[in-house]
Structure 1
Amino acid sequence: MSDVDPAPLYILSFRQRDELAALGARAGWQVVAARRAEGAERRFLASGSAVAVIDARGALSDGLAAAVALDGAVGSNGGAMLVLVSRGDTDAIPRFYDAGATHFLASPFSEAEFIQSVRFAGRHATRMAGEWRATAPADPLGWRLDLRERALQITPALARLLAIAEDSAPRALLRTLDPGERRTALDALRRVATRPATAFAHDITGVGRVVQHLQHDAQAQRIDALVEPLGSVPDSTAAMRDALAGARDSGGARRWLDRRLATGAPLSVILIALNRFEMVNTAYGRAAGDALLRGAHRRIAQAARETLEKGALVARMGGSEFLVATERPRARIDLAIERIVGAMGRPYVVGDAIAVLGCRIGMAVRGPADDATALLRRAGTALADAKASDSATLRVAASGEQEAPIDRLAAELGPAIDRGEIDILFQPQVAMADGRIVGVEALARWEHATLGTIGADLLFAAAARADLEIALSDHIQHIVLARAAAWPLALARLRLSLNLTAGDIARPGFADLFLDRIGRSGFARTRLTLEITESGLIEDLNIAATLLTTLRAAGCRVAIDDFGTGYSSLAYLKSLPLDYLKIDKKLAQDITGTARDRVVVRGVIDMARSLGLSVIAEGVETQEQLELLAKEGCQYYQGFLCSEAISSVALVELMARPAS
């Protein structure tokens, strides 16, 4: 690096801050890097950079929120915004352009490609704004340490602020810090000796919290530090955005809606209100309430991603209300509502307690004269109707459409059970070592005459609404055991996995009742695996442990299902008599994500195998996922890569094919 001071570069990366900062530092920029969106606009302006790099890989919602927050600062100062996205998220690029992005780069990319992209973005800023007028302070705060001479130079502004000489010894600078902060500073100096860049935070009297960005120039044998004031006055907007894990706010949501409405595209909005949230806030405090809101946002966003795919908007509108907006057709929206209702119905951990909240939903479809305000007002009216109702989970604003599937199904479920309309399909479980199908999981389905295929989540949500959970569970168990006991010889070696519900676990005498049910069916207990979801265990771990110990002693095997969905606890693995751990499909699919994603998946597999548990990965859809999971030690999988859930007849045909 030459003696010319390096140009500044602002980087916001939620998962790979240090890696990107190192790339920028090696290329010669003075990097100001952050991993949180709090105060992003202020920090970008203070950095003096002409380019803001937003790394949205693995954090699409956070990245979009940051782009929106930085749009005004970048645009008004003639800058450029470079967004990094995962290869699978390139269809989100138009949304980033709407939010103010000027350039993008899709991963995987090389170091050279990243550097070239930043340089092109810088050239764009120069062309658009002429000579860049930095908005950083004219008299910056910083210092330079010559490692050969052990000589320290301090900028005049920092020297005045700390009341020390500009050519003080290094220890004089350290003495301005509190003892605890000196250790933090020394740790940072040790880190930067082996890497291009690092940072640490501390307080300065009269300034408040600051971050020191350290950069090591190995060739020149010096360390440069830029001291970035963060300010002592809280930025309430940024703080709320951080508290809600990147949820778009109501203003941003309205602007998004107006842009979509202007195109004439079909648009539906769904308003979701948490039930009884105020009770949690009152009983446990605002911090617990904020944590619950973050959890609710993650659940809603995941349900939207899985059912509406890319392009749906998820935002918090205020209080405990959230918005989902989409251009997808009604069938997809119904599926999204099913998933959201199921997700919101799962218990939340609040401090040392468990809270079951649920939700109410109001929906509106755009009308010919709707703007964002009118569309949201109609959805809000529908939500108010749902809240006022004794039983309706969802209301649809006047448009001639049917009410929510869950309410209709709740009324029709009892007769459907009596008529035998609930069917069972089986999804194969495959040994990774040789590709053999070694077992199946039984999954309930209802082929509704007008609503189509109803899956287990909506089925049990409707059962809960109609107070038919036990009746539905008993009905499914009878069908599954009878069907499996009648399997032909071709299926005689398969294990059968059957889900038990939270209601089953809580039923007095359920172990004896269930073992008798197995005995009367004629199916061998030793071929039966009982799957328990974490959400079903969380309410009373002792009762669950006692029940499962009894069933396991009788010959059954036990699996914990959907591990990694948000309730994961080492207490389950330590306290319960388990044989299998089933990795949730979202976690399993992360194996092809970032290096950090793979570390998490590897950790779960290693932990399970160390405890003597076999590991089954759910939702495996690609050969790449399969190979990476196998490499990490996963023994079994199920998912579309082998087969969707199928009938017994189709299962016999599948078993006849040679293992791949």
Structure 2
Amino acid sequence: MIAVIDVRGAENDGLTAIAELASTATEGGVAILVLVDSSQNVQILEQCFESGATHYLDFADSGANLAQAIKYAYRYAENFRGGAERTSHEHSMLTFADLQWSMTLGPVREYWISESLRMAASEIDFGRYPATGIYRNLSSEERKRVRGAMGRLRDGARQAAVPHRFKGRAVIHHLHEAEGRIFGRIEYLADNEEVDDWRGRDLLSGLRNTAAARTWVREKLEAGKPLTLIAIGLKNFRMINAAFGRNVGDQLLRIVGHRLMDQTQRLYAGSQIVARLDGQNFLIALADIHSSEISAFANDLFDSVFSDLQWEGRPIHLVARAGVAIGHKDSSEKTLIRKAVLALAEATAADALPIKFSSVSEADVHFEELLEIQLAGAMGRGEIVIAFQPQLRVATGQLTGAEALARWEHPEYGLLGASTLFSVAERAGVMESLSTQIHKQALTLAANWPESLGFLSLSLNVTAGDLAAASFDVDILAQVEAAGFEAERLTIEITESELIGNLSASADTLQRLRSAGVRIAIDDFGTGYSSLSYLKQLPVDYLKIDSGLTSDISGSPKDQVVVRSIIDMAHSLNLGVIAEGVETESQLDILIEQECEYFQGFLRSGPLSPDEFEAFALRSN
């Protein structure tokens, strides 16, 4: 939808109309095109954008072109809505461009080519090559873009776009899939807008892409501008995709991108750029913002962008995190962006800290880059190893099982912990394969414990990405069977924050696992998202009290009350309780008094290698 509002000669009424329309159209993909004359009021453009306008046409400019302005506004609305408004040939022909085609999917292909397209490309034999005629005339680089766009459609995206040249002119080739058919529409760009300019644009969200952001940051740094970079990520986005579908996920990314751009412009008047980095991650760069204003800006941005998100009347709870890096003239754009992304990874790992300021040095950045490059090879070389953290009964000290923990046995840097390993894997894009390898390895080791230890349980940590996979329950049970381990001895642990946003899908997956005999534990309970309502909905067997709470129980009576309330609540729901991080006898005594069932921690043993754990278990048996 495009709204054209002429404010010339009626500025107050026009601004009111813009504000009223913008207040109801923030998430609807509505383009608000205003017609102005800045020669009569030099501030009118700023007033229109503050009221909510998205596009303008200034008749003070002798080259003002209403048709072109409407086309740009239409492209904005179309990209925002994912091309969903066109679902038939007839509707497609109502768009501002008439160079169009479509084809059905499936074994029998039917093609439709508009007469305007046939005439515009008369040298192409569409009768012989109805689907590939234009493709055959593209450069190798342009063909690569087409294959990538079609791949996105096959993966579930509703819309994709390809910049290329058509008969010597720069065009955007819009693609979308609807009702078993792929639609194509060719749109000419303005004479002064080159294809390469659009290569700097993220065609899903309409924001700038990583390459464009790097260029902007580099130019500002070279000009001596102090910069603040804020990398923003959606922690539970994969689970949102699993719960609502890829198309909804794409639309949410557009909404978030749109809000980030609008709210950044509202909150900061200085030089800025808003970009989409990759997947669910965005970048905001601000020039000349004072360091004392950064925290307030970031918090205001979070409050305005991520509150009240809905899809078809259903609330969507996106868990957002941010990493902040500050650069000066001696910084490089690559290192500065990297520092912001690393800070984002730290914020994502720490549930209680939504915004993290970078404290890493350039040496740290280069170290992390090196680890990312090496990780895939390390997985193949067997450098990812398992350690077992013993779990014991509080009342008797009897060994009951172990939690499997992953470590990277690096040949140069020694044993790297789980937080480093998983943050590197996340950025390297190998989380799924790493998680699968860890689960398989731990199950195989546990299945080979001596027969006398056949009563011990095994706890596996599960990531949000694992739980989001549609076949996760089937895959993990297949691994259990292949290893020869009993499902009844397996406990799946998942943190609270990873359950937020797709509770029903998580509940269904966990229920299927529980029906197969697997037990379910909520890890790090009490770290920020504790909710009695979801505990009542999920098939849970245990709560694991976060080590931060356990360390406090030997302190003031108030600290003990918190742990006592968690234990009492768990027992009222017929759940067992496991206390993490127990390091002193006084902590254990209090847990005995409060009738906590199980514990783990350095009081009895830290994480052990497989051989060390087996020896420990045999001594304890």
Give the TM bin, normalised by the shorter chain: 0.3 to 0.5
TM-score (norm 2): 0.47
TM-score (norm 1): 0.44
Higher normalized contact order (CA 8 Å, seq sep 6+, divided by chain length): 2
